[in-house]
Amino acid sequence: MSDISENAARTLSSALLACLDEVAPDNALLHAFGGWADAFKDLADGHDRESYKKPPAIVGVAALCVLQALRRASRHADMAPFLLELGDLFRVVYRYEPHDLPMTTLLSHFNFLHIPFILDWLEREQQAETPEWILKFKPHRREDWRDNSLDDALVSEVLSHPAINAYGPFVYDPAWVLEQQEKTLLLGPMDDRLESVREFESLILMNALNANMPERALPLLDEKLERYLESPIRDGQNFIFNAICVLAGVGDNDRALRTAKALVRIGYHLTFRFFVDPEKDDVWNRETRQHEWLADLVKTPEYQKFLDDIEGKIVNYTDPDQTTFAFLQDGIYKGKARKKCNLTKTLIEPGTKVVRIRGLCGKSVEQELRLAAATAFDDGRWAERRREFEENRVPLHLVFSRNYRKHWRSPHIAAFAYDVRDAGTVDIKRAVQLVADHQPPPIWREWYTERHQRLEDGFPIFEGAEGYGDAVNLIWRLVKAGYGEPFMQAARDLPTEKADKVFAMLGTFAFPLFRAGAQSHFGIRDLPEIMEIVFKERLTVEEHLRVADFGHEHPRYRAALLSARHAYGLHLYSNYGPTVDWFLQGLDHFSLAKGCHLLFFFIHHIDEDEILEKMMETGWLPSSNGGSSSSDIYGNSSHFYMRTVLFHLALNAPERVRPWIDRPLIQAHCYMSVDRETFRLVDKLLKSTSSVAGKMRS
């Protein structure tokens, strides 16, 4: 710190101490802080902004004192502008940064600055705002609960003043935060479909544990636990696991164990947390002290049996007793050097017959194809596994294995798969109803409105906005276990609207049984043929138009497909987690975003899809980069949304196409090969329509 900055820090510290010495410190602060501008500026001038270093701690302490004084004086409207102006002194200016970034930056440097805003929203009974600020206040790591920069000598002198306690706390205190959360709950019910609300409720349990007061969490636990366990939405915020720790912490081991078993049944994705190891220095032990809360429960024989049942074992895809196939394809080995067979470990000679395989065990599916010699399937267990796979009679214990390595994202489907493994048979009516009712919450999205500007879409982030493909992937396993025909027969008994949705989805499988079933259900003779076209890697202009015309000519099918898209995410593409699992044979045509081609059925009916309609009205592009789940889905799928809109424009308002494409927004975001192909196809369509129009005029 330079001499100028050090003098400024001393000046600020002395001014703070003088205010705290007054009989009415708040009044003194409100009269004095306007005169601290030069000290703040000198501190900012000596601050290394380019390297994002933290401003001097005295800045954060002074800011907290002023904010608390403003709050208690009911000067709510002055709080954010004060912090914004102060943060502006310490920021690096970027052209496209959000307007409130300077304030956000100071809040990230000094976490305790959230406290006045939490109290302010509570005092004004603004329940919608309070949880958000409390969640922002919670540090990611326990070691960040206290700001080490407060050890500075000048700051320590201020913090030792008797009057400073009225302006804190200056640390993350779980007991203090729990108290504010309890006050928030008293303001009324909250929408627990929202990710933020579920995180808030889970944090109540966590704070009660960390404050060594687990009994304080019991009212919320008793109110919400069964609802969480029965919800079709996955508990991504660990409310249920925290509840287990609370129950164990108050000595209710029986209920804790029942809850643990119920949590595993609905597809808990962190089962390793049940294996308590006090010596293990992992994030869960550090942050939640779960090894302490579960210590007595772990000693019970019943819990040890539970652990034996859920112990995850690494899947051995070369053991036919553990695995079946997800994909199997005959071919010829075209390599130049000999290669080892993955199953028999013998060498494969160039030019010999091979089988490309992908293993499956329950929910676990290999992503990479392996190479096996064709002779490995001549006889023995691998030959039987192949016959089972090709004849759709794979044993249930293989397609619904509990290996606890991969997990269903839909709790109800996870519970179904869990129960099948015990029952050894399938309740097909239950399976059909699960698929028909499957409807995850909408995926959060935003819009690119200009080249570097985003706008949120008006709805918050819902918890569990994932697992869209679980219903489709469940059906694939039922088919492989021999239940494809019974499933289809039972689906015909559904109410018409739900049956239509299910059959529209079944028709997208590359299974002749399902395509014929969809053909019969909708009474559309060429449905199987149009499915072959729409899932081609590259469609011609004529093929795009044929798909569009098909959608126009069959309104019932189009409505069913729209409903199926919304329920099963058939048209969405993510690099990180497939909606429809294209690693499964019979669904592999969904790879490389070919499921997005289903949008082309709506080229003549843009108004029936809210995203397409919004794009037409505004010219914006959908994105989801800021969401907490499925963060690339709309970014990846936007290329095909754009193609659908441009084909519609080329057919109905050709004069709008070139201005639409030439905007900076499109030039900045639509530069991939798929976009170049779109522009080429649209140009060809424009030329063909222009030529037809010219001939008509002549």
User: What torsion, rounded to 10 degrees, do the Cα atoms 158, 84, 187, 246 define?
Assistant: -60
CA–CA dist 636, 297 (Å, integer): 46
Q: For position 624, what pLDDT does the model report?
A: 79
Q: For position 694, what pLDDT does the model report?
A: 45
Residue 447's SS3 state is strand
660: number of Cβ within 10 Å: 19
User: What torsion, rounded to 10 degrees, do the Cα atoms 107, 113, 116, 119 define?
Assistant: 80
Closest residue by Cα to residue 569 from 473, 670, 672: 473
Q: Mean pLDDT across the stretch 432-458? A: 90
Residue 358's SS3 state is strand
Residue 437 falls in which region: left (phi positive, over 0), alpha (psi -120 to 50) or beta: alpha
| Higher local confidence (pLDDT), 462 or 695 | 462
> Kind of pairing, strands 353-361 and 370-373?
antiparallel
Burial of 627 (0-12, 13-18, 19+ CB in 10 A): buried
Closest residue by Cα to residue 231 from 194, 257, 200, 258: 194
Query: Mind giving me the DSSP string for 63-108?
Result: HHHHHHHHHHTT-GGGHHHHHHHHHHHTPPP-TT--TTHHHHHHHH
CA–CA dist 237, 248 (Å, integer): 19
132 Cβ contact list (under 8 Å, min separation 6): 196
The CATH topology of domain 324-399 is first zn-finger domain of poly(adp-ribose) polymerase-1 (3.30.1740)
Each residue's pLDDT tens digit, 311-354: 877 778 889 998 999 999 999 999 999 999 999 999 999 999 99
Please give the share of the chain, as a percent, with pLDDT higher than 90. Answer: 77
Q: Decide if 286 contacts 319 (C-beta within 8 A).
A: no
CA–CA dist 683, 7 (Å, integer): 67
| Higher local confidence (pLDDT), 695 or 547 | 547
422 Cβ contact list (under 8 Å, min separation 6): none
Confidence check: pLDDT of 283 > 90: no
Closest residue by Cα to residue 365 from 635, 584, 516, 168: 584
456 strand-pairing partners: 446
Rounded mean pLDDT of the chain? 92
**How many Cα atoms within 13 Å fall on the side-chain side of residue 113?**
25
Q: For position 465, what pLDDT does the model report?
A: 87
Q: For position 641, what pLDDT does the model report?
A: 98
∠ CA(48), CA(52), CA(58), 5° rounding?
70
Q: Decide if 127 contacts 190 (C-beta within 8 A).
A: yes
590 Cβ contact list (under 8 Å, min separation 6): 508, 535, 570, 578, 580, 582
Q: Mean pLDDT across the stretch 366-389? A: 95
Which amino acid is located at 85 in the chain? E
Q: Mean pLDDT across the stretch 127-140? A: 92
Confidence check: pLDDT of 24 > 70: yes
Task: Write out the H or E segment, with its range, that includes residue 145.
Answer: none
Six token digits for residue 58: 């005295």
| Higher local confidence (pLDDT), 421 or 186 | 186
Q: For position 697, what pLDDT does the model report?
A: 38
Each residue's pLDDT tens digit, 594-613: 999 999 999 999 999 999 99
Each residue's pLDDT tens digit, 26-43: 999 999 999 999 999 999
Which has the minimum average pLDDT: 290-294, 405-409, 535-539? 405-409
Each residue's pLDDT tens digit, 533-561: 999 999 999 999 999 999 999 999 999 99
Q: For position 79, what pLDDT does the model report?
A: 96
CA–CA dist 635, 637 (Å, integer): 6
Cα-trace Rg, the chain: 30
User: What torsion, rounded to 10 degrees, do the Cα atoms 237, 243, 246, 250 define?
Assistant: 170
Q: For position 94, what pLDDT does the model report?
A: 54
194 strand-pairing partners: 462
Q: For position 578, what pLDDT does the model report?
A: 65
Closest residue by Cα to residue 95 from 445, 624, 618, 451: 451
* Domain parsing of the chain, residue ranges: 1-188, 190-309, 324-399, 446-697
| Higher local confidence (pLDDT), 273 or 407 | 273
Distances (CA, A) of 150 to 51, 56, 111, 146: 21, 9, 12, 8
Which parts of 217-289 fold into alpha helices (H)?
218-230, 239-249, 253-265, 283-288
Report the Cα 180 to chain-centroid distance in Å.
Answer: 28
693: number of Cβ within 10 Å: 11
Q: Decide if 181 contacts 204 (C-beta within 8 A).
A: yes
CA–CA dist 602, 566 (Å, integer): 14
Q: For position 95, what pLDDT does the model report?
A: 45
Confidence check: pLDDT of 643 > 50: yes
Q: How confident is the model at residue 696 (pLDDT cuts 50, 70, 90)?
A: very low
346: number of Cβ within 10 Å: 13
∠ CA(630), CA(199), CA(238), 5° rounding?
85
Six token digits for residue 456: 């949120």
Residue 446's SS3 state is strand
Q: Mean pLDDT across the stretch 429-433? A: 98
Q: Mean pLDDT across the stretch 622-627? A: 70
Please give the share of the chain, as a percent, with pLDDT higher than 70. Answer: 95
Go through 633-655 and write b for each residue having 16 or more CB atoms within 10 A of its CB, e for each that does not. Answer: bbbbbbbbbbbbbbbbbbbeeee
Residue 483's SS3 state is coil
| Higher local confidence (pLDDT), 578 or 168 | 168
Confidence check: pLDDT of 409 > 60: yes
Closest residue by Cα to residue 144 from 114, 186, 104: 114
Give helix 130-137 / helix 195-210 axis angle, nearest 10°.
50
